[in-house]
Amino acid sequence: MHIGHNRLKIIDRSDEANQPFRSEDGRYLLAYNGEVYNYKEIRRQLQARGHSLKTASDTEVVLHLLILEGANGLQQLDGMFALAFYDTATHQLLLARDRFGIKPLYYADTDQSFVVSSEIKGILASGLVPKELNQTQLECYLQYRHALKPQTFYKGIAELEEGHYLLWQNNSLTTTPYCSVSAPQQEEVVPTGQLISKTKELLCESVQRHLVADVPIGLFLSGGVDSTLLLALLHEAGHTQFPAFSIALKPSEGSFGTQDTYYARLAAERYKASFTPFEIDENILAGTDALVRGLDQPIADGTALVTSYLAGAVKPHVKVVLSGAGADELFGGYNRHWAFYQYLRHQNKALALRGVLRLAKPLLVTGFDHPLRNTFRLLNKLPDKIHPNPYNTFLQFTEMDSALQQLLKERSGRPKSVNQEKDWLKWCLQHDLHQYLISDVLSMTDQTSMQHSLEVRTPYLSNGLHQYLQGMAGGTLFRQGQKWVLKEVLAAQGGKEFTNRPKEGFGMPLGKWLRDPKNSWLFQELRDSKAILFEFLNYTQTQQLLHLHLNGRHDYSTEVWALLVLAKWLQFNFAS
């Protein structure tokens, strides 16, 4: 048994808190990645039960909790973590991952060894697991922009799912859920005022817990509802001049993204933050190869480039940042959530509208960079996305353009249906919470930030807030518009003007940049007919799609970026 750990010191920076952490009697070992925000409360409970702790770290608290309660203690942990806990007496290894999957954990079970790491690169570096491509993930990637867990892009390497623990002993393993983020059967009817006040109370509590650290903390501020609300609550709690960081496009990029900068600066002024914007232009694309090389698995999310740049720029200022990630999945903030809500309300009309929109498709221009481009793209694709079955309809809303899937030489198809749901709206939020949030947003954020030794924390993903929201019907979260609960909380904090702006995040004019001839070097792997990508994709059809985007006839920026990332990742990882 070999256990190693590379520590980013956040809480109790002394060497006594280094890992792997060993119990006083030497029997137990813990290697732990992440933070547990309620560790002080658990510490007091342990001390009341006679446990003596020698450090101020949350790692030692987790160790003693697992010694005392084993896997049963995992439910008490509120935070982000991936851990390996080993009993040298019984030779039992316990692996566990937080309930939201904020921190990754991978493993490989072979005839000769069992290897675990928070990065796939760590498993491959062991030399104990052969490096083989799992081709089934290619179709998943082209449909959803990321791998579908628990499988990975590597044969024999699996991802431990969120809210699960794994026991390995005597060369056998079992995986078990220790908590569920699924909706309970009993759903409350919650009065509007109570819902707003309770949401604020739980979010305030979570924000305060997420501030526990022995290093400086800041905030990723986009000027949208989620990050602005976090800043407003920090200000209300007495945190003035809180460091806030944002991305601003240089004036040479025109009007694209200027609302982000305007509202981020306005939020910083309103809530007395110390605001630092970092300017970018299309030269940020120079970091594409470095970004892709750092990814364990390909992720077709263009914001990864911006997030990576921002993480590197922020690192000299702080070691921890708060992020608004998770708010959209909990409160229904994506356009597909609202579209699905309207589809369920007017299902018969939607099916009739499908025919009308099919006639209008030639009139829906999509080949331009414009703040409304996503609306036009959605309308253009809508006729093909509406189905009598809600399951198929929502999955169509989550998939990329079918043009990408047509490039595959062989297709297996996705599951056709699921059991009828009592609450389809709740199901769609759960779907994004389990898939898109974990495999795209959180994975991308963790990998890009950890490349710069920056820790990103997500106050919206707290046990208390999530459990409260799961006790109500999905329609409650949509009855007054998209993400209306958070907007009401923010409006009460003096931020009403932030609640009606279009959703942008850290946006960039990717379509325009990809068309610029000076960036043609990006397509080296896509132009090469002998590239690994074209063992699986049709080369001619791929060139046709690329040509349609580059000549401005269609806006395929999302699809082109997905292909570009996949082509580069395959070359970097599987070229001989």
User: Residues annotated in the binding site for L-glutamine, as ranges?
Assistant: 58
DSSP summary character for residue 481: B
Q: Take residue 188 and report the two structure tokens written for it.
A: 């409350």
How many CB atoms lie under 10 A from the CB of residue 266? Answer: 16
Name beta bridge partners: 537: 408
Query: What's the CA gap between 61 and 256, in Å, rounded?
Result: 48
DSSP 558-576: HHHHHHHHHHHHHHHHH--
Count Cα atoms within 13 angstroms, Cβ side, for 485: 29
Binding residues: 58, 247, 323-324
For residue 528 the two structure tokens come to 């090469």
- The most distant pair of C-alpha atoms in the chain lies apart, rounded to whole Å, by 75
| Edge-first strand listing for the sheet containing 217-220 | 274-280, 243-249, 217-220, 320-322, 455-457
> Please, are residues 469 and 195 in contact by the beta-carbon 8 Å criterion?
no
Structure tokens, 311? 């993480």
Which strand ranges, in their side-by-side order, compose the sheet holding 164-169?
21-22, 28-36, 79-87, 92-97, 164-169, 172-177
Beta-bridge partner residues of 115: 108
310 with 221: CB under 8 angstroms? no
H helices present in 154-286, as ranges: 192-209, 225-236, 258-270
Buried b (16+ CB within 10 A) or exposed e, 138-150: bbbbbbbbbbbbe
Q: What is the DSSP letter of 288?
A: H
- Strand bridging mode 106-109 / 157-159: antiparallel
Instruction: Please state, in angstroms and rounded to a whole number, the distance separating the CA atoms of residues 260 and 223.
Output: 6
3-state secondary structure (DSSP) of residue 41: helix
Residues comprising the binding site for ATP?
247, 323-324
